Amino acid sequence: MLDEPLIHTLMAAARQAREAAYAPYSGDFRVGAAVLTGDGQVFTGCNVENASFGASMCAERVAIFAAVAAGQRQLTALVVIADTPQPIPPCGLCRQVLAEFAPACQVIMANTKGDYQVATMEQLLPYPFEFRQP
């Protein structure tokens, strides 16, 4: 379990990443994320929308893919933050990506007011899709 100071550090990194979000199609719904790796590095991401909605990318996946592109494979925690009344959870696509790259990570769902909740991947996605060769 992450300690409170580390959670707040990750929330601050996600909040800062949120400022770079490109969100003209959702009415400026800005989301930020921060991923903590096993060796203590932090990778951040923001949501990037596109007129072709399927080409948009969630903040969580941007952060995860940045970590993976840097050679990281052990992701231990993820924070997602938005300006919402309640802490925001990752969407289904992001949950599936987390299940592949960070099945044991802690997910901190937060809002910009400082509220947060912590969940495990098993709680968020108890039955992830897994590809198995026959």
Checking if the pLDDT of 92 tops 90, the result is yes
Checking if the pLDDT of 131 tops 90, the result is no
The number of residues in the chain equals: 134
94, 75 Cβ separation under 8 angstroms: no
pLDDT score, position 20 = 98
Catalytic residue among 4, 19, 49, 60: 60
Q: How far apart are the two ends of the chain, measured CA to CA in Å?
A: 37
pLDDT score, position 75 = 97
The Cα angle at residue 37 between residues 33 and 42, in degrees rounded to 5: 45
Residue 60 is among the residues annotated as catalytic for this protein: yes
pLDDT band at residue 134, thresholds of 50, 70 and 90?
confident
- Average pLDDT of the chain, as a whole number: 96
Is the alpha carbon torsion for 93, 31, 109, 14 positive or negative?
positive
Tens of pLDDT, residue by residue over 103-130, are: 999 999 999 999 999 999 999 999 999 8
Mean pLDDT of 46-65: 97
pLDDT score, position 29 = 98
- pTM value is 0.95
